[in-house]
Amino acid sequence: MSSKKIGRPPSDKPKSQTIEIRVDQEIMSKLDAAADKLNTSRSAIVRKGIEKVFDELQK
């Protein structure tokens, strides 16, 4: 028999850090709307926002 593991392959950049934030209902609604429109997760939207702010600061 093959000794291959079943499941996802290991990630090159594993996401092992967790951030917990408090937001009001308006921000949560905007986050959910953006995630729905882009067909992605809340986490992906937050990561994209952090990258965008960081890139703007580098200019």
Note the pLDDT tens digit of each residue in 7-36.
888 888 888 899 999 999 999 999 999 999
| CA angle 26–21–38, rounded 5-degree value | 55
Q: Rounded to an integer, what distance in angstroms lies between the CA atom of residue 12 and that of residue 33? A: 29
Residue 58 CA to residue 29 CA, distance in Å, equals 29
**Segment 36-58, tens digit of pLDDT:** 999 999 999 999 999 999 999 99
Structure tokens at 26: 């308006």
